[in-house]
């Protein structure tokens, strides 16, 4: 029996290796980037497409694997790991036509019924990591205007809001680790922008500054990963500031400032922290353009680390593009980092040299990958591609489309009918769908007083229905 278990385990492992390092290398060659020049936008977008498509190929292979392999193989889940990839993927699809990436992202959203991950217990319901995917659902809603896409995320935020601003302040934080400042705050800010209800951004604001008060190091201008690291030092006597942890915060600030109103009372404080971190981060960049896992003790872990580097690259390029950071000062750091990241794209097209999931610096290996690193790479590219564009003001416009009417159905054929019987069955399905559309009550078209939940006060254009 033990030998059989080992044989099965070996087969699963072999399957996952094939899925993760698939021979289907992207057809497009990897562009080369000059570390001392602003890259052409088309080349950056090409690199982004190549990376995203490679991940989609890899993930589809895992999706097709047996259940046991999927569970162990690092495939898609509604957790922060996958959320970070899809956040980056959606940015790519805003910039360029990437049908394979958009189709896969939308299918994953439908797979989870636009819901967030939860273990059911209250501590899970308020977990920032499990709310990160809400950003993707908000993005989909802003494209489609379907209330059902947004409702599960809004319900989760509604549940969490009272805990974020609870008074008197509890002894323990809801967002007790610095990663949370990437995962959740932008979701709350954008929910307020979509709905016009300030309760989300206001609650976020309370908790963000509570986290800041516990974790911010006013001397180093960096965040402790959590309260365990506020005073901890490593074997060489250096305080431990984790590269990806700082990247989470800095990139999270950039995403937050995208949606935060220009006149929001505490916005200047966020900008100040963002600038202080950026000023510190560039002093810690290494000659190859990347950052090391432990920012203050590069000798402890001398190898490059790509996930933190990609997050920093995104955040710094964002600051240049939106006038928050001086272009002459920060641009050389961004172009060096972007060029340096390309050296770690593996033969299968996916970014390597990624620190595994964790809470502090550890060694990295070239062959290690992570969906969150691929997502961070796409985020970085989304801003690097705009470095030749004029500076654009913040916040970015958030304009939900008019509410739509749609009858969801999974009854469509997977392929054209090939026999008379299949053609007859397809015709029956078409007539059934037409009947559903003709007979079902639709609040949008049947209620003259219908007001969509998420319309920011705009008038909804009624859509006629086909009889």
Give the residue numbers annotated as catalytic, written as ranges.
179
Q: Cα separation of 25 and 22, whole Å?
A: 7
Q: Which two tokens stand for residue 269?
A: 């404080």
How many angstroms separate the Cα of 238 from the Cα of each of 186, 229, 375?
Answer: 32, 11, 30
Q: 282, 330 in Cβ contact below 8 A?
A: yes
Identify the CA nearest to 131 among candidates 181, 195, 75, 197.
Answer: 181
For helices 267-283 and 327-342, the axis angle rounded to 10 degrees is 60
Q: Which two tokens stand for residue 395?
A: 């916040």
How many angstroms separate the Cα of 235 from the Cα of each of 6, 238, 300, 305, 335?
Answer: 39, 7, 9, 20, 33
């Amino acid at each position: 029996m033990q030998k059989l278990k080992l044989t099965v385990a070996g087969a699963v492992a072999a399957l996952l290796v094939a899925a993760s390092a698939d021979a289907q290398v992207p057809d497009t060659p990897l562009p080369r980037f000059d570390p001392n020049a602003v890259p052409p936008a088309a080349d950056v977008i090409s690199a982004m497409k190549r990376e995203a498509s490679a991940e989609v190929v890899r993930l589809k292979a895992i999706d097709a694997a047996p259940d046991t392999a999927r569970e162990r193989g690092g495939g898609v889940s509604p957790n922060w790991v996958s959320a970070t990839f899809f956040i980056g993927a959606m940015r790519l699809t805003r910039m360029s036509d990437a049908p394979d990436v958009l189709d896969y992202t939308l299918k994953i959203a439908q797979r989870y019924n636009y819901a967030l991950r939860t273990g059911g217990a209250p501590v899970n319901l308020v977990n920032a990591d499990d709310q990160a995917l809400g950003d993707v659902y908000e993005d989909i809603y802003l494209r489609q205007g379907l209330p059902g896409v947004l409702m599960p995320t809004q319900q989760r935020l509604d549940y969490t809001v009272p805990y974020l601003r609870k008074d008197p302040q509890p002894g323990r934080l809801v967002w007790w680790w610095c990663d949370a400042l990437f995962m959740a705050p932008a979701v709350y800010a954008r929910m307020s922008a979509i709905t016009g209800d300030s309760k989300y951004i206001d609650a976020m604001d309370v908790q963000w500054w509570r986290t800041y008060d516990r974790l911010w190091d006013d001397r180093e201008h960096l965040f402790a990963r959590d309260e365990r690291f506020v005073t901890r030092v490593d074997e060489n006597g250096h305080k431990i500031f984790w590269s990806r942890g700082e990247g989470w915060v800095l990139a999270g600030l950039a995403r937050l400032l995208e949606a935060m109103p220009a006149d929001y009372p505490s916005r200047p404080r966020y900008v100040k922290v963002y600038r202080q971190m950026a000023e510190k981060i560039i002093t810690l960049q290494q000659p190859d353009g990347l950052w090391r896992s432990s920012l203050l003790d590069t000798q402890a872990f001398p190898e490059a680390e790509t996930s933190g580097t990609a997050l920093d690259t995104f955040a710094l390029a964002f600051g240049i593009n939106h006038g928050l950071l001086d272009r002459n000062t920060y641009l050389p750091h961004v172009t060096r980092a972007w060029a340096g990241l390309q050296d770690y794209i593996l033969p299968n097209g996916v970014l390597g040299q990624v620190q595994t999931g964790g809470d502090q610096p550890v060694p990295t290996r070239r062959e290690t990958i992570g969906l969150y690193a691929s997502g961070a790479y796409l985020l970085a590219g989304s801003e690097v591609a705009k470095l030749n564009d004029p500076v654009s003001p913040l916040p970015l416009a958030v304009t939900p489309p008019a509410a739509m009417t749609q009858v969801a159905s999974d009854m469509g054929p997977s392929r054209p009918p090939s026999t008379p019987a299949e053609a007859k069955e397809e015709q029956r399905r078409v007539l059934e769908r037409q009947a559903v559309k003709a007979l079902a009550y639709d609040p949008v078209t049947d209620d003259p007083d219908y007001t969509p939940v998420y319309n920011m006060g705009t008038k909804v254009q009624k859509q006629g229905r086909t009889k």
